[in-house]
Structure formats: C-alpha cells, structure tokens
Amino acid sequence: MTYMHIGKDFTPPDIEGKVTGMARYAEDFRRDGLVFARLLTSPIPAGRVVNIDASEALAMPGVLGIFTADDLPESKPPANPALAKEFITYIGQPILAVAAESEELAEAAIERIVVEYERRPFVVDPLDTLIEGGPDPYPMGNSLIRTGEAAAGTTASGSGVGQIKWTADQIASFRAGRFPTGATFPEEWMYGDVDAAFAQCSTIVEEPFVTIGYPHHSLESRTGMAYWENGKCYFHGSLQSHTVGHDALSAMLEIDPANLVFINENTGGGFGSKIFPYPVMAVTGRFARQLNRPLQLRITRAEEFYIGSARSGMQGWIKVGLRDNGRVGAVDVAIVGDAGAGGGASGSSAAEHISIMYQPESMRFRGMSLYTNTAPRGAQRGPGQNEMAAVLSPIMDKAARQAGVDLVEFRRLNAPGMEAKIGPRQGGLSSSYYPQALDMAAADFGWEQKRTLPRQISATKVRGIGVGEGYHSAGASGYDGLLRIAPDGKIYLHTGVGNLGTYSYAAVVRAAAEALQCNWENCVIVHGRTDYHLQHSTYQGGSNTMFTETRSSHVAAMDAIRKLKQIAAAQFGGAADDYSIGGERVFLTSDSSKGMTYGEAAQKAIEMGGEYSGASFPEDIHNTTKRAVQGLAGTGLIGVGKDTLPKSGTAPGFAVAMVEIELDTETGKFDILNYTGIAECGTIVHPIGLRQAMNGGGVWGFGMAAYERHVYDPQNGLPANVGLYQSKPPTYLDVPVQMNCSATDMPDPQSPVGARGIGEPAQGCAVAALMSAISDALDGHLFNRTPVTPDMIVNHIAQNGFNTGDLKTNTF
C-alpha cells in the first residue's frame, strides 16, 4: 500500500532541542523561591525506624522542614513505600527528606539527623530465604501473594507477603540442576500432557539456569520539581508514559486529577522503570505543598541505583524434549524469581517466551516470586521474556545439536507462524511473519556461509556464531484519540503518549495525518504538558505504543473526517457520504468545486457547536479526554474517539538476531564482529526510528549478556556496584563498529496502518544470539547464566568447572 506518511522518515519536532541543548528535562527547571530537598536513606538492609531526632537539623538557619513516612498514607508490604518506617527492606531505601534553601544546606542537615534503627535479619539470594530456617526479607515472610494478573509489560505489585520454604534436600537438588521433587510452587500452568509427550521425545536436555538482575540506570535520574498555585499542583517529572499516569499521580497527591498539571516534554530514559508514577514522586509533590514553596527533590546517581528499579533475576530448571522430526514436543520449566524488595518477578512471562518462540506441543510452568533485601525490581525491557531468551537460546542449541539439526533450521521447524499459539490458554496472534524474519536474517547475515567457517581463527582466537529470538506482546486497544483542526488550517495532533526517546509519540500521530491526507508541514504535535489538553493515551512499555496509538490516532481522524463531511453537506447539500477529502479540502465527490478547506470547515464547526466544536463529546471516552475536549471546545473542529476497532488475539512483536564473535581464549574477552537484527513488527512506520530501536535494543542485549548485574555483599547486604562503571552499560567499545538491522515490513491486519511494536524483542534477540555465539565459540559449552564474564570463560577454558555457580545470584 502506498502511504503519504507511513513508512517515510521525518524530523521529529523535539530533536532540534536535543542537539542544541534547548530540550529541557525535569531537573532543568527552576522557579522563584525554589527550595531543595534531599533524602536520608537507610544504611541497613532490613529493620525498622525506632526514632528520628531532627531537632538539631531543624534548628539550622535555612533548613525548612523534614518529611517522613508519617506524612504519607500508610503503606503495607510488599508495596514499595516512598519513605520507609516499619519495614526497611534494602540499603538505600529513603527514610525521610529534608528541605532547605540550598542543596548544600539540605545535605548538611541530613548529617545532623539521628535515626535509631532496629535491625532485622536479611537475605540477598532467593534460595537463601527459600531454604528451611533461612532468613526472611520481611518479618512476615518471603514471597509475593498475587491477587490479580500482572498488567502487560509490567510486573504487578503484590498485595501480600507469604512464606514459602523448601527442605535442604530440595534446595540442594535445585542448585545441582535437578527438579526439586515435592517442592511448593504457588504459580503453575500447563497445557497438553507433558509427561506423556516427553515419553515420545528422542532428544532430552535438562539444564539449570540463573540470570542476575541489574539496574535500569536511566541517565536522567528521577529528580522532580513541584509547586502549587491556586490549588493546582504543577509537577515537572520524568515518566516514559504521560497521561496514563495522571490519575495515579493525582491519587498519590490526593487531589482531583483536574488540579494536576504534569509537565514532561522530554524523558532521559525509562526502560520500564518510569512507565507509571513511582513512589518518590509523592514526596516531591506533598513536601512542596507542606512548605508552600516550589521544591526540587534531586535524586543522585547512587540513589537512582537504589530506587530507580531493576530487572528481576531468575534461578531455574528446564527440561526440553524434541521429537524425531526436530519439533519441540515438551517443555517443563521451574523458576524462582527474584523480586528484590518489592514488586514481582516475571517467571510466567519468561515461560510464555518459550511457548511462543518454540511452539512446544505441551508445556508446564511452575514458579514463584521471592523477595530479597536488594533494590526493588520492576518491569525492565521485556521482563521475563528477555532473560529467558538469554539462557534459553544456548540450551535449545544444545538440543538441536544433539538432534543433528542446524541451529537456524531447528528454529524454522519450530517458528511461530500465522497459526501460532501462546501461553497457558494457547490463544492466537493477530498475525506473525516470524518465519520470514528468520529467513531474512539468515540471508542478510550469511548464516550458511558463516557456519562453514573454521572456528579456530588463530592460536588464541576462536570464532562463534549464534542465533537468538525475542518476543513481547506488542499492542493493546481501548485508548482515546484526539485532534483539532483550527480555522487557520493547522491540524493539531494531540497525544498523551510520553516522549521516552523512541519518537513514537510523533510517529503514531502520523496515522491521523495519513487518514486526513494532510501535509505534515501543516500538522502540529501537541504533547508534553497535560494543560495542553491531552487525551488518555496508552502506558508506554512493553512495545505497546505503535500498535495501540496508531489505532487511536486513526479513530480520531475518522471522527474528524465524518464531521468534515457532515459540515460540508450542511453547507452544500446532499448527504455526508457524497463528500470526499483531499488536498486538505472536503468536497462534493461529483463536483470538487463545491467544497471548503479544512480551515473553513473548522470555522463552521465552531459556529455549529455541539460535537463539531467539542461542546459535546462521546460518553465512552476517558475522563482525562473529556477534560481535554472541554479545554479545546470552541476552538476548531474536534476529532475524538475511543478505540473500539476490532481486536482479537495477541499482537506480537518479534525479532531475530544473528551474531558473530571473536573470542580470546587467553583473556576471556570477545569482540562482536557482525550483528544482524531483523524486526517483525508489521508495517514500518518510521524507518530510521525502527533502526534506532533495533540497534539500541541490541546494545541492551549485549549488556545483559556480558556486563550488567547486581553484586551484593551477602554478609552485610551492601551493594558493591551502585555506579555506572560497576554495573556497566555497554560503551561504544563494547558494541560492533557497525550494526545491521532490517524488518519484514508486512502489515498486521488489526492495525489501520499495519504496525506493531518492537522495543522489547530488539533486546531479547540480541542477548539470545550473543549467548548462542559464546556457547558456539566454546564448543557448545553452556554457562546457563547471565552475564557471562571473562573470568567465567577463562575458568571454563582452564577446566575449573564454573558454569551456573550453583545458581548463586546477586553475588559472585
């Protein structure tokens, strides 16, 4: 299909600000009378606050006040409190905030505050609390009790803390790579007859695995600034979503959503940690109100490590069975998820990854979320799926090699196509062109040629090639679209989508421009401040935006087109269906001279009032959207509507990657020589934006595979790597000199423009392919662990026998 805008590159309106320094982030804003708050954080991993003596601090000139948990609604475990009192669960947890006329004063005041703590036992490795007699991270237990399902792309906060214990024998069995017979798993699902299916498999692989969590490390920390005027709170914050968090932030501040102006035109990274408002935002807003002064609460890099969220880890066991024909006949997987100090782990999502990517004929998942006294965990780029992709790929490679099947051919045999099923309910997909993506990757990478190359490059250098796959559900429905055509002919495309750096906020509204057949130069994107009258848009996480918001943008455009035609019919006679649009005019199809420009129609809409001008609006739109329309009423022709377009099955985002590495057997280091990533995300909407998403996801994959992890001192609960150079995101020197990516560019039938999302799978495919390549370079050795570090490789080569390290996590 030929489009005006879809599939074409464009210049996002915010990019010039980013290259000139004019783009402003939350910490860049100042306000007359601004005061500065800093946090006092916990020096102990578990315990409670017995007493706070701030008298000396409060007597200091320029110190304005302190803010404690007593100033907030009570929070019950395992919810992550903004400020802790009765339940301190990790080092670095905020205890109180101090405000002063300067940051230096606030820091000095913190030094004068005496906090008396009561210590409690703590634990940093889930298996150390799971064992009978082991310490619990909370006084009441160690595990998450769920009452509802996790929202897509997130790990849900739990509603309670329970206690699960295994016997020492069960723990020993699990650490040794065997299923812990008789052990309790509160989460379980299954389809098919797994035991019977294994009996029919000719190849069986059984392996343990462990993945270590790591911080999001968004470069912009969650510093915020708030002030109150005439009963309204103006909040400069940093979220990756925008309007979808409005009601939640209002609730945190206990105000009517109409009295909150959330300002967030640019966001310096989120990666899942800023999908929704986070606890410390309550301190910023409420403390500002208490002092009746503009207040900035700075979060330092070290504090961001503690409260900036982190990926969950997994300790697990998997058994895979292949039939004679290379098809995966059965999978059995058990996962102990590390939820840190709050939140939930992602075991079921991890298992879902297996079910979609290899289409096993039968499968069983057993799992649990255990808490530890480490930084709170939350959604991070493909939670569950991507860490499973990392460890699964080499395990599947082993199975394929045992069955005598090439690694790519094996994936072809099991690839999810149009009829693919997913998860415990074995639901369908909106579409899938994954087999085509796999073929594209093999051709672009030159898999057939590279697999014949010698592995030994020189005396100390070996080659490895690998293939891996990424998946995430990539689209929802039910959100609102909104646009306004002004009398001057400008088309204002509103979006409540956040600006998290993917430019999707701009790309999705091009679906409305496409439907209206208007020039991009006449379009203005309205975003970034809720007092710009923004509608209820999707949360931005889980590769969700592109599918979801092209639909709602399209809906708004179709509403506007209907009104344009009705206005023209009222002016020139006939029925609305007799009219067409084109060239930013609406005209009688049989006589194009009878028509009017969009601008003239907008003027008519103002005169006609009612739904045309926004004086009235559909009842089914969200309250946020209703307020937005009320704010715009009478200023032009309003196109607005809720996305009720047909949707069935899961809209998937897929990616496949292939990697070639050169590994130094003396140092254990490796260089990535070639990287090819292929996206299967429906129609390409923004080509260069898609490449950026794929390449950036690739870098994230390399980080998970080789560099990033939590390290805690198990004796004291102290984190050893709060900095960027310690839990190190990849640098320029850790990634290939050039990356290669492309996409299938085949439309999904449930999107008006055929698009789905890709952010999460872009990482999953890369980490999986790199782990596969490392294994390949070492003659198929399985570490069954992320990250794989040079010391592990050297130890393996020296035959020191290190693989999973007995499933130890969060430490060496």
Partner 1 sequence: MNPKLTRRRFIKGVIASGVAAASTSLWYTASGQNRPAGAVERLLTINVNGQTRRVDVAPQETLAHTLRYKLGLTGAKLGCNRGECGSCTVLADDVNIYSCSTLTHEVKNKAILTVEGLRAADGTLHPVQAAFIQELSPACGFCTSGQIMSAVALLKSNPRPTRAEARQALSGNLCRCGAYDHYLNGVMRASGQLS
Interacting residue ranges for partner 1, rule: CB under 8 A: 9, 11-12, 14-25, 27-28, 30, 217-220, 266-269, 271, 300-301, 500-503, 688-689, 691-692, 695-700, 723-725, 729-733, 735, 737-739
Q: Please, what is the minimum distance in Å from the beta carbon of residue 37 to partner 1?
A: 16
Q: Please, what is the minimum distance in Å from the beta carbon of residue 199 to partner 1?
A: 45
User: Which DSSP letter does residue 683 get?
Assistant: S
Closest CA to 628 of 741, 500, 480: 480
Q: Please, what is the minimum distance in Å from the beta carbon of residue 125 to partner 1?
A: 27
Q: Contact at 8 Å (CB) between 712 and 306?
A: no
With respect to partner 1, which residue has the nearer C-beta, 635 or 742? 742
Q: Please, what is the minimum distance in Å from the beta carbon of residue 336 to partner 1?
A: 29
Q: Please, what is the minimum distance in Å from the beta carbon of residue 110 to partner 1?
A: 13
CA angle 730, 389, 181 (to 5 degrees): 125
Residue linked to tokens 């606030």 = 106
Q: Please, what is the minimum distance in Å from the beta carbon of residue 502 to partner 1?
A: 7
With respect to partner 1, which residue has the nearer C-beta, 265 or 397? 265
Where does residue 238 rank: exposed (0-12), middle (13-18), buried (19+ CB within 10 A)?
Answer: buried
With respect to partner 1, which residue has the nearer C-beta, 25 or 87? 25
Q: Please, what is the minimum distance in Å from the beta carbon of residue 216 to partner 1?
A: 8
d(CA 754, CA 741): 20
CA 222 to chain centre: 16
Rg (CA), the chain: 27
Long-range CB contact pairs, 619-624, < 8 A, 24+: 620/644, 621/480, 621/535, 621/536, 622/479, 622/480, 622/535, 622/536, 623/247, 623/257, 623/536, 624/243, 624/246, 624/247, 624/257, 624/480, 624/496, 624/534, 624/535, 624/536
With respect to partner 1, which residue has the nearer C-beta, 271 or 612? 271
- CA quadruple 546, 548, 549, 552: dihedral sign: positive
Q: Please, what is the minimum distance in Å from the beta carbon of residue 330 to partner 1?
A: 36
Q: Contact at 8 Å (CB) between 656 and 468?
A: yes
With respect to partner 1, which residue has the nearer C-beta, 437 or 690? 690
Strands 670-680 and 740-743: parallel
Q: Please, what is the minimum distance in Å from the beta carbon of residue 633 to partner 1?
A: 34
N-term to C-term CA, the chain: 54
- Which tokens hold the place of 476? 């929802």
d(CA 755, CA 552): 13
Q: In the sheet that 652-664 helps form, which strands lie side by side, from edge to edge?
A: 461-473, 652-664, 670-680, 740-743
Strands 143-145 and 160-162: antiparallel
Q: Which H or E run includes 312?
A: none
Q: Please, what is the minimum distance in Å from the beta carbon of residue 724 to partner 1?
A: 4
With respect to partner 1, which residue has the nearer C-beta, 1 or 737? 737
With respect to partner 1, which residue has the nearer C-beta, 21 or 404? 21
With respect to partner 1, which residue has the nearer C-beta, 228 or 700? 700
With respect to partner 1, which residue has the nearer C-beta, 128 or 220? 220
Q: Please, what is the minimum distance in Å from the beta carbon of residue 744 to partner 1?
A: 20
With respect to partner 1, which residue has the nearer C-beta, 11 or 202? 11
With respect to partner 1, which residue has the nearer C-beta, 354 or 500? 500
With respect to partner 1, which residue has the nearer C-beta, 61 or 801? 61
With respect to partner 1, which residue has the nearer C-beta, 224 or 342? 224
Instruction: Say whether 791 sits in a helix, a strand or coil.
Output: helix
d(CA 262, CA 257): 10
Q: Please, what is the minimum distance in Å from the beta carbon of residue 220 to partner 1?
A: 5
Q: Please, what is the minimum distance in Å from the beta carbon of residue 229 to partner 1?
A: 22
Q: At what angle do helices 347-358 and 385-403 cross, to 10 degrees?
A: 40
* Beta strands per DSSP E along 474-542: 480-485, 491-494, 523-526
d(CA 625, CA 534): 7
d(CA 25, CA 5): 29
With respect to partner 1, which residue has the nearer C-beta, 396 or 681? 681
Q: Please, what is the minimum distance in Å from the beta carbon of residue 468 to partner 1?
A: 17
Q: Contact at 8 Å (CB) between 668 and 690?
A: no
